[in-house]
Amino acid sequence: MPKKLIKRYLPSPDKIRNAKGLGILGKWLQNPSIWHLHRRSVSRAFVIGMFWMAIPIPSQMLVSAVFAILFRANLPLSVALVWISNPLTMPPIFYFNYVVGTYILGQQAAEDWHFELSWEWMIHTLGDLWMPLFLGSAVVGLALGLISYVIINLLWRHHAIKAWNARRSKKWRKKFREEEKSHKHPS
Question: How many angstroms separate the Cα of 155 from the Cα of each of 37, 63, 93, 151?
Answer: 14, 27, 26, 6
Computed over every residue of the chain, the mean pLDDT equals 82
pLDDT for res 68? 94
25-76 pLDDT, tens digit per residue, is: 666 666 777 877 888 999 999 999 999 999 988 889 989 999 999 998 998 8
Asked if residue 101 lies in contact with residue 133, where contact means CB atoms within 8 angstroms, the answer is yes
Query: What residues contact 22, with CB distance under 8 A and at least 6 apart?
Result: 16, 29, 61, 62, 65, 79
* Model confidence at 1: pLDDT above 60: no
Could you give the number of structural domains in the chain? 1
Instruction: Give the domain range for residue 30.
Output: 2-184
Q: Minimum mean pLDDT among 26-30, 132-136, 150-154, 156-160: which range? A: 26-30
At 36, phi and psi to the nearest 5?
Answer: -75, 150
103-136 pLDDT, tens digit per residue, is: 999 988 877 666 655 667 667 777 778 899 899 9
